[in-house]
Chains A and B, each alone.
Chain A
Amino acid sequence: MTMGLTRRTLLAAPSLLLGTARVRAAAVTDATGRALEIPATVARVFPAGPPAAILLYTLAPELLLGWPRANRAEECAFLLPDICARPEVGRLTGRGNTANLESVIALKPDLILDVGSTAPTFASLAARVQEQTGIPYALLDGRFDATAATYRLLGALTRRDAEPLATYAEATLTTIQGRVNRVPENERPRVYYARGPRGLETGLGGSINVETLEFLGARNVAAEQKGGLATVSVEQVLAWNPAVIVTIDRDFAANVRSDPQWAGVTAVRDGRVHLSPKLPFGWVDFPPSVNRLIGLWWLAKILYPQHFSEDMRELTRDFYWRFYHVKPSDADIDRVHAGRD
């Protein structure tokens, strides 16, 4: 009797397991076209880099195992405190990685999530890490205009409803694009994007650092040359003579007004040097993730004030609630807008 039962159970077990697998575990294709076997429950996700950590936090914060870099106190003020305090786990992005594969395995993630370039280099690195660790490694498209699709894919990977965030992203991008398309070419300001304490690092045409600017149809003065980041001289900026300067560097924003070198630049003379908000994550550029959706509104209002009448406080509060799951006060929001720490 007992024997029979055991035998029946044993016989049934494989089909049971297969059945469960068919019902629960799912094959999901990531953005590189690699089919991933996603386990029945995804409860622990390892973010390969800052963009992945932010993306995951916005959809399913409790799944986030830790952060590529420990957050600072001023950043945690705009994130769920217990999630924000999760440990530093390093980066796992190919050759520049700081996370150790063994410690990744020791954290027992159900999934490794990476967001960024889907070029063959990164696809093969993902495949290699997956092979070595036996943990499914999903690489999602980090391009700005792919945000909605990336959310839907993340929803499928984590079995969460990503539709609200995907729809928000889609609506934001189409709304803004629709309005920008109506702006005649000659009303689109010539913009210089300034990084570094002296503001002389800039993003060339097509660089990930100026994706928000380019999406808004602004004429990036450095776009004539294609590439990533580069250094330019003040003389070159004077020759470009941009009407607007967008910067992520507080020192530069504070000093440029009194710097005689920059006095001749129209943007400086007209007081159109704009310091980008950066809490809890940079709004314009870094890390390049969904934090740029709110940055898009901010930039759109700066570049085309007559086309964007929305209240920035309102937009910020709404975005922070949807994506960061916090309700900042008006004073907090003003502080963020001022670009202060």
Chain B
Amino acid sequence: MSRSPLPGLLISFAVLLAGLLLAFTVGRYPVGLGDLFAVLAAKLSGHASSTPAAVETVIWQVRGPRVIAASLVGAALAVAGTAFQGLFRNPLVSPDILGASSGAALGAVLGIYFSLGVFAIQALAFAGGLAAVAMVYAVGSAVAARDPVLVLVLAGVVIGALLGAGVGLIKYLADPYNQLPAMTFWLLGSLASTNPSDLIPLLGPVMIGTLILLALRWRMNVMSLPDEEARALGVSTGPLRIAIVAAATLVTSASVATAGIIGWVGLVVPHIARTLVGPDFGRLIPAAALMGGGFLLLIDTLARTAAQVEIPLGILTAFVGTPFFIWLLASVSKTWSAP
């Protein structure tokens, strides 16, 4: 793998750019490219813009925040997926492997069940995601085993199932006329209700987590070697694993808290990024972030434009993700089998 990573990164960037342009100019409310530039120019120059107030509202208040949120969530899920796939040396791992999504789901349905406000629901989802992974990690560390990574995955499966049962219980107890539909919509994932104020609690954790992972890129490369070799190179795997899990969980929880449950992005996008730029995490993480942001932007644009009603993101990513994944398995499985 000595080829230059530049074309791959450029392609990833192009995907994001295309996604941004398309997302900004397509929507249920007609806003053209010209409107967009007029509004942007007016904002930059400080002059009053000639576009109608509604167009400005759509760009600054509705579509703009949603586009930013979509790219952040896509990037976050892809980066988390990349980190977990590297950590577990397993291509079938996705960001919710350690229960972050199930924990967030339980937090959110509890919030809806107790009729809390939107902010509280998101905060509970975020806290639930972090708590679930902390619980998984505690269980994983409590069990003495020769293969700590395998134990961690098993603990994730078990805790995830338990939290899933909790979600089922709350849905079962919920008021079927009011709360249950709200829970169902949330669990299917959507960015329909993105507010400008959602961006800060999303941006903060995603930036922090991604920067931590970027800072650890060299150590993560070493992690892909067997534990003994990594230790021989002076990398202590225990604390490193905690740092990676914490950073990936932070970004996953923040994105699930904002957008609900969106599968497949964190599983599929890291694979695409890997085929484009190779296995070096220094390039893989930026490529996955760009690609993930672009991918979810395209999906979300489809979700909000295909019909008058929103199509849940989780459903679209599965429809797009599964065939793609099958194709990927058939064509590029060599990337994983031998270096």
| Best-surrounded residue of B58, B117, B118, B309 (most CB of chain A within 10 A) | B309
Among B290-317, those with CB < 8 Å from A are 304, 307-310, 312
Within the complex, the shortest CB–CB distance from B58 to chain A, in Å, comes to: 6
Question: Could you tell me if A286 and B63 are in contact, using CB atoms closer than 8 angstroms?
Answer: no
Question: Could you tell me if A236 and B28 are in contact, using CB atoms closer than 8 angstroms?
Answer: yes
Contact of B62 among A91, A197, A230, A234 (CB under 8 A): A234
- Interface range for A: 35 or more
Question: Could you tell me if B57 and A230 are in contact, using CB atoms closer than 8 angstroms?
Answer: no
Question: Could you tell me if B309 and A196 are in contact, using CB atoms closer than 8 angstroms?
Answer: no
Question: Could you tell me if A98 and B173 are in contact, using CB atoms closer than 8 angstroms?
Answer: yes
Q: Interface segment, A139-147, A259-267, A304-312?
A: A259-267
Question: Could you tell me if A261 and B57 are in contact, using CB atoms closer than 8 angstroms?
Answer: yes
Decide: A239 near B309, CB < 8 A? Known: A260-B61, A288-B177. Answer: no
Q: What is the CA–CA distance of A229 and B185 in the complex, to the nearest angstrom? A: 10
Q: Which residues of A contact B173 (CB under 8 A)?
A: 98
Decide: A232 near B309, CB < 8 A? Known: A195-B178, A285-B177. Answer: yes
Q: Which residue of B lies closest to A96 (CB)?
A: B176
Q: Which residues of B contact A197 (CB under 8 A)?
A: 117-118, 121
B12 within 8 A of A: no
A231 within 8 A of B: yes
Q: What is the CA–CA distance of A236 and B172 in the complex, to the nearest angstrom? A: 31
| Best-surrounded residue of A198, A239, A261 (most CB of chain B within 10 A) | A261
Q: What is the CA–CA distance of A30 and B29 in the complex, to the nearest angstrom? A: 48
Q: What is the CA–CA distance of A91 and B175 in the complex, to the nearest angstrom? A: 10
Within the complex, the shortest CB–CB distance from B308 to chain A, in Å, comes to: 6
Within the complex, the shortest CB–CB distance from B316 to chain A, in Å, comes to: 13
A218 within 8 A of B: no
Question: Could you tell me if B308 and A261 are in contact, using CB atoms closer than 8 angstroms?
Answer: no
Within the complex, the shortest CB–CB distance from B25 to chain A, in Å, comes to: 13
Q: Which residues of B contact A196 (CB under 8 A)?
A: 182, 185, 193
| A contact patch SS | loop
A315 within 8 A of B: no
Question: Could you tell me if B175 and A235 are in contact, using CB atoms closer than 8 angstroms?
Answer: no
Question: Could you tell me if A201 and B28 are in contact, using CB atoms closer than 8 angstroms?
Answer: no
Question: Could you tell me if A239 and B182 are in contact, using CB atoms closer than 8 angstroms?
Answer: no
Q: Which residues of A contact B255 (CB under 8 A)?
A: none
Question: Could you tell me if A235 and B307 are in contact, using CB atoms closer than 8 angstroms?
Answer: no
Question: Could you tell me if B308 and A224 are in contact, using CB atoms closer than 8 angstroms?
Answer: yes
- A82-120 vs B, CB cutoff 8 Å, 1 = contact: the mask equals 000000000101001010000000000000000000000
Q: Which residues of A contact B54 (CB under 8 A)?
A: 238, 264
Question: Could you tell me if B310 and A230 are in contact, using CB atoms closer than 8 angstroms?
Answer: yes
- B271-304 vs A, CB cutoff 8 Å, 1 = contact: the mask equals 0000000000000000000000000000000001
Question: Could you tell me if A69 and B309 are in contact, using CB atoms closer than 8 angstroms?
Answer: no
Question: Could you tell me if B309 and A225 are in contact, using CB atoms closer than 8 angstroms?
Answer: yes
B157 within 8 A of A: no
Number of interface residues of B (CB under 8 A): 35
Among A220-273, those with CB < 8 Å from B are 222, 224-225, 227-236, 238-239, 248, 251, 259-261, 263-264
Question: Could you tell me if A238 and B309 are in contact, using CB atoms closer than 8 angstroms?
Answer: no
Q: What is the CA–CA distance of A200 and B173 in the complex, to the nearest angstrom? A: 23
Question: Could you tell me if A235 and B172 are in contact, using CB atoms closer than 8 angstroms?
Answer: no
Question: Could you tell me if B308 and A235 are in contact, using CB atoms closer than 8 angstroms?
Answer: no
A155 within 8 A of B: no
Question: Could you tell me if B177 and A50 are in contact, using CB atoms closer than 8 angstroms?
Answer: yes
Within the complex, the shortest CB–CB distance from A297 to chain B, in Å, comes to: 21
Contact of A261 among B118, B181, B185, B195 (CB under 8 A): B195
Decide: A261 near B61, CB < 8 A? Known: A98-B172, A251-B117. Answer: yes
Q: Which residue of A lies closest to B181 (CB)?
A: A229
Question: Could you tell me if B28 and A264 are in contact, using CB atoms closer than 8 angstroms?
Answer: no
Q: What is the CA–CA distance of A282 and B178 in the complex, to the nearest angstrom? A: 11
Q: Which residue of A lies closest to B53 (CB)?
A: A264
Q: What is the CA–CA distance of A201 and B190 in the complex, to the nearest angstrom? A: 12
Q: Which residue of B lies closest to A285 (CB)?
A: B177
Q: Which residues of B contact A91 (CB under 8 A)?
A: 176
Question: Could you tell me if B117 and A264 are in contact, using CB atoms closer than 8 angstroms?
Answer: no
Question: Could you tell me if B177 and A235 are in contact, using CB atoms closer than 8 angstroms?
Answer: no
Q: Which residues of A contact B182 (CB under 8 A)?
A: 195-196, 201
Q: Which residues of A contact B5 (CB under 8 A)?
A: none
Known: A235-B27, A236-B29. 17 other contacts (CB 8 A): A50-B177, A198-B195, A201-B182, A224-B308, A225-B308, A230-B309, A232-B192, A233-B62, A233-B304, A235-B58, A238-B54, A238-B57, A239-B29, A261-B196, A263-B57, A264-B57, A286-B175
Q: Which residues of B contact A (CB under 8 A)?
A: 27-30, 53-54, 57-58, 61-63, 66, 117-118, 121, 172-173, 175-178, 181-182, 185, 190, 192-193, 195-196, 304, 307-310, 312
The 6 closest A-B pairs by CB, nearest first: A286-B177, A230-B309, A198-B193, A264-B54, A236-B28, A231-B310
